[in-house]
Structure 1
C-alpha cells in the first residue's frame, strides 16, 4: 500500500527532489552489509539466495523485497524522495531506521522533509537511553512459558538515578492469538507455526505484574551496556515493525530469537542469531547475550509466590494455621490465640496472611470483602511491621546446564549386554543438574534412544515427543496440583519374552510434599492409552499410579519411583526404578539406573545401566 501511494504521488505531481541514481553494484554492496540484512530480518536461504523472516507484504517496498535485499534497498531510496505531502505515510516516517542509515551511507542531503508527527511523538514518549533484557523464569502450567520467556525493557536517561524502571516501556514479541484455544491446540499450533508473531511496546509495569503476580514467575533483569545511540537505533526499528507479522514457532522463530535480531540492529557487530540454527530456547539466548559481553549488571525480582513462601518458612505449624485464620477473618487479629503470640511472631504471621490474600487475588475480579481483609491486615502490619524479607537468590538460569543432551550408556537387560546411544533436543529431567532450574520440574522434548545388543542387534528403544512433569510441593498455605504428561514410542514387555515398541499417550495428577530439606515425595494417579501389537484391541486404555521420592544429595539427584498400569484387557504392568546422577561438571553427568519390570505377559525383567550425559547446545 505504501509503495502504491508513493508511486501515485510521484506520477501525479512533479517531485521537488529527484532520487539519486544508484547503480546495481553500489546497491548490492550496501545490501550485503550486516545492518541492512538486520533491518530486513534476512537469512540465507537453504538453497541459496535470501529470505526474510517477515511474513507481511506491507513491510516491503519492492515487489520481491522479501527475497532480494538489494531490490528492497533501491526501492527504499526511491521512496525516500516521494513528496513530503504524504506526511505520516511517507517512507521516511514509516521506516526511520532505514532512512537514517541510508542518509548516512549515501550522504543524502537533499531529502524531502515530511512532518512525521506520529513517529516523533511516539519516540519522544519512549525516550530511549538504555536497555535491559528481562527473563521471566519457566512456568510449567502455561504451554507458552515452559521454557521461560525474554523481553526488552527500554529505560529513559533518568530511570536508574530515580529508580523508576516501573515507568519504562517493554518490547515484547509473542504469538498473536484470536479466540481462546485450549492448551493442547495452543501447543500444537505453536509448534507448527499456526500463529502469527507480532512485536508490541507496552508499559513494563504491566508485564511485570503479569509475570510476577498472575503467573508467579521469578524475573531476572540483565542491564545491557548498549549506548544511548544503539538503544535509539533499536527503538527506531521497533517503530518499523508495528503490526508487522512474522511466522512464530515455539522452538526457533520465537520471542528470544526475534529479540536477538533487535540487538543486532542496535549493535551490528554482534553475531547472535547464527548460534541458533535449530532451536532458540530462552535460557540459551540469555547465555549468548551474556557471552557477547552485553550484560553490565543483573537484578533478581522474586515472584509473589516465592515471597509468600519465604515469609512463611520460619513459621511453625500452629502459626501457619494462624495465617490461614487471619486471611479468612481479620477479626482473628484480636483472638486469644493470636494475641498470645510474641509481638515479633505476630508481625510475621499477619504479614504472611496479607501476602496470602494478595496471592489469592491474583487474576481475580475485585472482591470487596477480600479487599477489606487486605486493608485491615495492612493496617495491622503498619502498627507492627515485620523485619525485611530475606529471600535466597536461586541459581542464575543461564548458568544451568546446556539444553541439548548427548547420551552414551552401557548396561545389561537380564543376560543380554547392550550399548545405548541417545540424543535429547531439550532440555531437563528430574535427575539432571538442578542448578538454575525449578525444583521438581521436567521438560523433555524430542528424545531418541537407540540400543545395540550383542550380535549387532539394533533397535529403537524409545522416541519421546514430549515428557513434562511438574512436582510442586504442597503445604499448609498453598495446595498446588502436581501433574505429568508424556507421549511417544517406548519398549515394553511382550508376550514372547521380548520387548515390543508401542505408541502411547499418558498423563496423571496428584500431590507432592516436602519430606525434608532437599527431599520431595510425590504420588499421582495416572491414565494411559497404548497401541501394543500383542494386544487384541487396537487401542488399550489403562489406569494406574506413579509414586516416588526425589532427593537432592551431595553427589547429584536421586529418584526412586514405582509405577503401575492396569489395563482393561487384564494386563498388569508394574516397575520399580532407581536413578542416581553424579554431577561431574555443569555439563557432564554420570547416571546409574536400575529397573525391575513386572508384566502378566512375561517373567520379571531386570535392567542396569551406566550412562554418560553430555549437555551441549
Structure 2
C-alpha cells in the first residue's frame, strides 16, 4: 500500500512561465537542502544520542530515496522530502509531549509488552528492574532492557522515520522494520496516541503469511490432567488453542485450529536431576511451539492417555489479535524458563494481562504457579466462557468396558477375552480423535458423561492442619503445612481417580512430656518434612495403561526396633515401590470412570540414615498392601499394612538386633465439611515389641487455601 505525498505550498510557483527565474533564486538553498537530505529522513529527526546509536532507529533507512544530484527536475521532490521530514519531526515532538503528559513509559501494558515483570511474584525475578529478555534484537534502544522510557521513545522515532519514508517512496517492503518486528507494540501505541496507522506504510509479508496461517478468531485454554508416569508432566499442563472462524463455529473441527504451547527447551540427554535443577533455576530457555492442534491434542489423549478440559476465553477478536501479534514479537527469543514460576501456565496469564491490564492476573497467584490454579483463577475472574471435556483413549475404552459389564449383569455373556479386547490399547483403537487424514482430524463425541475431574472443582492445593493426639502415654499437638498437592484421603472432586502426589509438606509436634521419665520425647520435634511423595495407580483390571508404583523423598521420625525401648529418631528417607492395583465397585453411569474402590499390593524398598538409629542407617525391603474406600462424596477411608524387613548390619552387642521385621498398620478417615475444610482421623500401630510407644491416634482439622 502506498500513500501519496500531500500537497506542499512553496514560495515559487512552478509554472512554465516563471520556472527559470524561480530556479535561479532557489538554486543555492535547494543545493544545501539536497545535501542534507542525501543521508535520509533520519537526519531531520531529533533522536537523542543517549537513547540510540546512529541508524538504530531507522529500520527502513535503505528504503528512503536519496538525492544524488540537484537539478531543475528534482527541485520539487527535494522540497517535498524536506516538508515531509519536517512534518514527521513535528509529529514526533507532539507524541513525546503526550507520552510525557500521560507517563506512558510506566503504563502497565507497555511494560508487559517489554517483559518488565516487576509486578510478578517470582522466586527468582521478583522486583527485577529490567526486562526478563536480554536478547538485543528485542529492543530498538541500546538501553531498552533497563529503561522502558528509552524503548518507547525509540519506537516513536521509528514511527516518524517510517512516516517520512512512506511519503517519499511508492512502497516499503522491509520485514525488519520496527513496524513489522513489533506489531503489538505498534498497535498499542498507535491506538493510545491516536496515530493514523495507515500513515505507517510498511509491507510485512512474513507477518501477513503467519497471521493468515493461524487466522486467529478465538482463544481457549486447554488443560491436560496430571500424569505421574512422566515427572515433567506430574503437575499437569496448559496450552492455548487458537481457533480460526471455522473451528470457533464448530469446536470439533480441530484441523482448523492451532496449539500455542510454551515449554522448556531442555537437553533430553541431561540426567533427570540436572534437568530438574536447570528447569527450576532458569538454566534452560523456554520454547514456544505452534503446531496443528490435532497433533498436540493426540499427544495427551492417545500417547499419555490424559483427559483434557478446554475452556473458551472470554476475549474479544481484537484482544485475540493483539495477543497473537505479541506472540509474533517473542516467539523466537531466548527467555529463561522457571518450572515453578515462569512456565506454561504463567505465560498464558501474562499474555492475557497484556490486553487486560486492569485484572492483573499474575500478581494474584502464589510464588509457585500450578496449571490448575490458573484454571481456577480464570474462572474466578469470569474469563472462562465455556468448558468442553474430551476423554482420553483410555477413558473411552473404560466407558466401553463399563457399558459391557453393565450389560453382562443383564445376563449377556462377557468372557475374559472380550474384557481383554475392550481394555487393551492394542486391540481397541477407540479414540476421541477421528482416524481420518492428518489434515482432516475432528473430535468424535462418544456421548461419555464428563468425569468428576474438572479442575475448577478442586480443593485449594495448599493445606494447613492442627491436630491433637496421643502417642503411647504422651499427648501432643501437631501443626502442619502442605504446599501441594493431593493425597488419597483428600476431597476427590477435580482430580483424576486415585491421584496421589504430595510436595513440600512439614509437621511440627508439641509434646506434653514429663522430662523426669526415661525415653520421654522432646517437647518440640520435627515430625516430618516431605520433599515429594506419591503413588501412580493404574489398576490392572481397568482400561488404564501403565504400572502401579510409588516414590518418596522425606525426613521423618521412625522407631528403631533394633534396641530395647528404642526411641523414635529423625532420619532422611528415600523409598520406591512397585506392584499391582485393582479397582472394585460400580462406576458412575455413562462415564469413563473406573470403579470407585481401590486395593493395592506393592513391593517396597527403602533406605534411611540418621544419627539416632543403630549404626546410623538401615535399609529395608518388604510389602505395602492396602485399600482405599470411597464411602460417599464426603467420606473416605484407607487402611494399610506395611511389612518391612530392616537391616542395620551385624553388632557385637547381643541385645541389639542387626535385622528384624517391623510391621505397621494404619487407618485413615476423612470427612469433608466443605470444599476448603475437613476433619481427619489417623491411627497407627507399630507391632515391633522393642519400640517405646506402639500406638499413635490423632484427630486433625484441615484447612485448604
Normalised-by-shorter TM-score class? 0.7 to 0.9
Structure 1 distance, partners of 2:54, 2:509, is 61
Residue 92 (structure 1) aligns with: 179
Name the counterpart of 1:105: 192
Equivalence for 1:58:
137
| CA shift for structure 1 position 28 | 7.8
Q: Distance in 2 between matches of 1:281 and 1:56?
A: 28
501-510 or 449-458, larger mean C-alpha shift: 449-458
Is it true that 1:501 corresponds to 2:570 in the alignment?
yes
Matches within 5 A, 1:426-575: 426-454=484-512, 457-475=523-541, 480-494=546-560, 495=563, 497-517=566-586, 518-535=596-613, 537=615, 539-554=617-632, 555-569=634-648, 570-575=659-664
How many angstroms apart in 1 are the aligned matches of 2:419 and 2:694? 49
How far apart, CA to CA, are the structure 2 residues paired with 1:430 and 1:162?
38
How far apart are 1:182 and its partner, in Å? 5.1
- Give the aligned CA root-mean-square deviation in angstroms: 3.1
Question: What CA distance in whole angstroms lies between the structure 2 residues aligned with 1:43 and 1:479?
Answer: 42
Q: CA shift at 1:36, angstroms? A: 1.0
Q: Which moved more, 1:550-559 or 1:442-451?
A: 550-559
Alpha-carbon distance between aligned partners in 1 of 2:415 and 2:264, rounded to the nearest angstrom: 41
Assess if the C-alpha contact under 8 Å between 2:224 and 2:237 holds in 1: yes
Check conservation: 2:59, 2:177, Cα contact below 8 A: no
Query: What secondary structure, in the 3-state scheme, does the structure 1 residue paired with 2:465 have?
Result: strand
- In the alignment, the residues of structure 2 paired with residue 407 and residue 583 of structure 1 have an alpha-carbon distance, to the nearest angstrom, of 14
Q: Structure 1 residues 277, 322: closer, same or farther in 2, change over 3 A?
A: closer
The correspondence for 2:464, drawn from 381, 388, 406, is: 406
Which of 393, 398, 403 is residue 451 of structure 2 equivalent to? 393
Q: 2:665 is matched with which residue? A: 576
- Shift of the 189–245 alpha-carbon distance from structure 1 to 2, 3 Å rule, reads same
After TM superposition, the score normalised by the length of structure 1 is 0.84
8 Å contact from structure 1 (residues 598, 604) kept in 2: no
8 Å contact from structure 1 (residues 421, 449) kept in 2: yes
1:32, 1:490 → 2: CA distance? Answer: 50
Q: 1:208-239: CA deviations, max 9, x gaps?
A: 11111111111111112211111111111110
Q: Distance in 2 between matches of 1:131 and 1:447?
A: 36
SS in 2 for 1:557: strand
Conserved? CA contact 1:307–1:391, under 8 Å: no
SS at match of 2:578: strand
Q: 1:452 to 1:528 in 2, by over 3 A?
A: same
Per-residue displacement from partner, 1:271-292 (whole Å, max 9, x unpaired)? 2111114111111110111111
Are positions 1:73 and 2:179 aligned together?
A: no
Q: Take 1:312 and 1:257, find their aligned partners in 2: how far apart are those partners?
A: 38
Q: 1:194 to 1:9 in 2, by over 3 A?
A: closer
Matches within 5 A, 1:331-350: none
Q: Count how many residue pairs are aligned between Structure 1 and Structure 2.
A: 568
Determine if contact 2:59/2:158 at 8 Å carries over to the other structure. no
2:130 alignment partner, SS class: strand
Please say which of residues 596-605 and 228-237 is displaced more in the overlay.
596-605
Query: Any idea what SS the aligned residue of 2:546 has?
Result: coil
The reply on whether 1:281 has 2:370 as its aligned counterpart is yes
Indicate conservation of the 8 Å contact 2:395/2:544, yes or no. Answer: no
Of 142, 150, 160, the residue aligned with 2:238 is: 150
- Is the contact between residue 548 and residue 559 of structure 1 (CA under 8 Å) also seen in structure 2? yes
TM-score (norm 2): 0.74
